[in-house]
Chain A
Amino acid sequence: MSGINLLQSKIEVVNIGLPLFAEALAVQDIPVVQVDWTPPAGGDERLIELLDLLSE
């Protein structure tokens, strides 16, 4: 099964969100890429609503 293969293979991580997770892996010498990501519209609920409506 793919899940078992995943756990048995070498781990390489892409982290989105809090950089703390990436930093914790990096100090354990696990390859990790931190994605430069922020919530849409900086998390502003009104703007997110408008963006959603304009994409429908």
Chain B
Amino acid sequence: MEKIEQANKIAVGRMLDSDPVLVDVRPAGEIISGLADGVILHAGPPIGWDRMCGPMRGAITGAIVLEGWAGDLAAAGKLAQSGDISFQPNHHFDAVGPMTGLITPSMPVMVVENRKFGNRAFCTLNEGLGKVMRFGGNDGEVLNRLRWLASDLAPALSRALADREGLPLKAIIARGLSMGDEMHQRNIACTGLVLRELAPSLARTSTDPETLAGLLSFIGGNDQFFLNIAMAMGKAIMDPVRGVDGSCVVTAMSRNGTDFGIRVSGTGDQWFTAPVEMPNGLYFPGFSERDANPDMGDSTIVETMGLGGFAMAAAPAVAGFVGAGSAGDALNYTRSMLEITVGRNPEWTIPALDFTGVPTGIDIRKVLETGLAPVINTGIAHREPGVGQVGAGIVRAPMACFEQALEAFAAGMGVGGVS
């Protein structure tokens, strides 16, 4: 249908025209409109406490203690159940968060500005690996690290970004793809590139060498530091694609550990949800699939813009880390995602595929026609609250989300009514 083809062209054009720049790091309560005391933002489509998975509940009780809304985890659990806390999806507040994805007012968020379209998107700072809040961790060690992020790292990054008037991100992605990153489960190159870009400004705006050394060590020692930057960038790129009349391009894929949800440009901000699936992956020593929580997090915004599992061909090393198979299998994952997308991104290319651009603009019709569900590289959380990450793997978006979306999209286009 010509209208759809034109609308999808506009949608992908907006993705390609975007100019995302990391401009600041601010307390979430200060910069996210509507995030007040008693409000907790979470990953995925809307969900209430009663249906939340273990890690999500664990993270929420920790966040309540972090904010001082309750004195300990037990009291926090009672408050969470009481109905006095408002749980809202990050996506409804221009934000995204990895795994549990929690954002509360005191947490610092990175601000990515899309300078082409003027919108902004937010994501928390990456806490590192192991026992962290995004995987459901909530003990003193987890909370103290979050406090340090707010007291030390965030202000330093804010000053550094002001000193250099922001950090343009598109070129960093282009270089990272040529250095073996896919920006979801492998961010080693991009983290190094960001550190290299920011180090002079961090040094110039620092007053204490020991504090500076701690900041540089934290960023340099966290291979996934860039993931959260990529996520804020993804949200900033995909939000201008929302609401293109007649477009069946996916604008968000997200999961809360219970439900997987997608949004489609031509159907506005409606969520199409289905139960999340279990990642197929590799586990850290001492853990197995029995310990795993189903798929979780807003990080699938990375795949939505054409990176992560879609760009696996750029990152043969990640294929081994997530248990996806050989480097040849990684090539095939990217090739198969080219079959379900509208176009390719000429600025983000993959050397191993003769510099083919990453698959860009998921077309729900192509997903259903081919039976190829979007492939996602993901971390795996323990199913119990407070434990943390137990592995990494790959998972597919549930086909049921796309079936529902197609019904709604067709109705909006005035075709396919059941007589």
Q: Which chain B residues (376-419) contact chain A, with CB distance < 8 Å?
A: 399, 403, 406-407, 409-410, 413, 415-416
From B37-45, B188-196, B211-219, B365-373, give the one contacting chain A. Answer: B365-373
Q: Which residues of A contact B1 (CB under 8 A)?
A: 54-56
Q: Mark A19-56, 1 if CB is under 8 A from B, else 0.
A: 00000000000000000001011101001011101111
Assess whether B410 is in contact with A54, with CB atoms less than 8 Å apart: yes
Interface residues of A: mostly helix, strand, loop or mixed?
Answer: helix
Shortest distance from the beta carbon of A55 to any chain B beta carbon, whole Å = 6
Q: Which residues of A contact B415 (CB under 8 A)?
A: 50, 53-54
Q: Which residues of A contact B4 (CB under 8 A)?
A: 54
Q: Which residues of A contact B365 (CB under 8 A)?
A: 51, 54-55
Whether A54 touches B413, Cβ cut-off 8 Å, given contacts A47-B403, A47-B406, is yes
CA distance A23 to B410 in the complex (A): 40
Shortest distance from the beta carbon of A54 to any chain B beta carbon, whole Å = 6
Residue of A nearest to B413 (CB): A54
Shortest distance from the beta carbon of A52 to any chain B beta carbon, whole Å = 9
Assess whether A50 is in contact with B371, with CB atoms less than 8 Å apart: no
Q: Which chain B residues (335-363) contact chain A, with CB distance < 8 Å?
A: none
Query: How many chain-B residues does the 8 Å CB contact rule pick out?
Result: 17
Whether A50 touches B407, Cβ cut-off 8 Å, given contacts A55-B1, A56-B1, is yes
CA distance A54 to B365 in the complex (A): 8
CA distance A42 to B415 in the complex (A): 21
Q: Mark B282-308, 1 if CB is under 8 A from A, else 0.
A: 000000000000000000000000000
Assess whether A47 is in contact with B368, with CB atoms less than 8 Å apart: yes
Shortest distance from the beta carbon of A24 to any chain B beta carbon, whole Å = 25
Assess whether B368 is in contact with A51, with CB atoms less than 8 Å apart: yes
Shortest distance from the beta carbon of B414 to any chain A beta carbon, whole Å = 10
Shortest distance from the beta carbon of B272 to any chain A beta carbon, whole Å = 14
Select A41's contact among B371, B409, B413, beta carbons within 8 Å: B371
Shortest distance from the beta carbon of B212 to any chain A beta carbon, whole Å = 53
Select A53's contact among B369, B403, B410, beta carbons within 8 Å: B410
Assess whether B371 is in contact with A53, with CB atoms less than 8 Å apart: no
CA distance A37 to B155 in the complex (A): 54
CA distance A47 to B409 in the complex (A): 12
Assess whether A50 is in contact with B406, with CB atoms less than 8 Å apart: yes
Whether A50 touches B369, Cβ cut-off 8 Å, given contacts A55-B1, A56-B1, is no
Residue of A nearest to B409 (CB): A54
Q: Which chain B residues (1-45) contact chain A, with CB distance < 8 Å?
A: 1, 4
Assess whether B416 is in contact with A41, with CB atoms less than 8 Å apart: no
Q: Which residues of B contact A54 (CB under 8 A)?
A: 1, 4, 248, 365, 406, 409-410, 413, 415-416
Assess whether A49 is in contact with B368, with CB atoms less than 8 Å apart: no
Q: Which residues of A contact B413 (CB under 8 A)?
A: 54
Residue of A nearest to B367 (CB): A41
Shortest distance from the beta carbon of B409 to any chain A beta carbon, whole Å = 8
Shortest distance from the beta carbon of A49 to any chain B beta carbon, whole Å = 7
Shortest distance from the beta carbon of B247 to any chain A beta carbon, whole Å = 12
Most buried by B among A40, A53, A54: A54
Listed from nearest, the 10 A-B pairs whose CB atoms lie closest are A53-B415, A50-B416, A50-B410, A38-B371, A40-B369, A41-B368, A53-B416, A54-B1, A50-B406, A47-B368
Since A50-B407, A51-B368, A54-B413 are in contact, a sample of 14 more A-B pairs with Cβ atoms closer than 8 Å, ordered by chain A residue number, is A38-B371, A40-B368, A40-B370, A41-B368, A42-B371, A47-B403, A49-B416, A51-B406, A54-B4, A54-B365, A54-B406, A54-B410, A54-B415, A55-B1
Binding site for A on B (CB under 8 A): 1, 4, 248, 365, 368-371, 399, 403, 406-407, 409-410, 413, 415-416
**CB-defined A-B contacts under 8 Å, sample of 14:** A40-B368, A44-B403, A47-B403, A50-B407, A50-B416, A51-B369, A51-B406, A53-B410, A53-B415, A54-B365, A54-B406, A54-B410, A54-B413, A55-B1
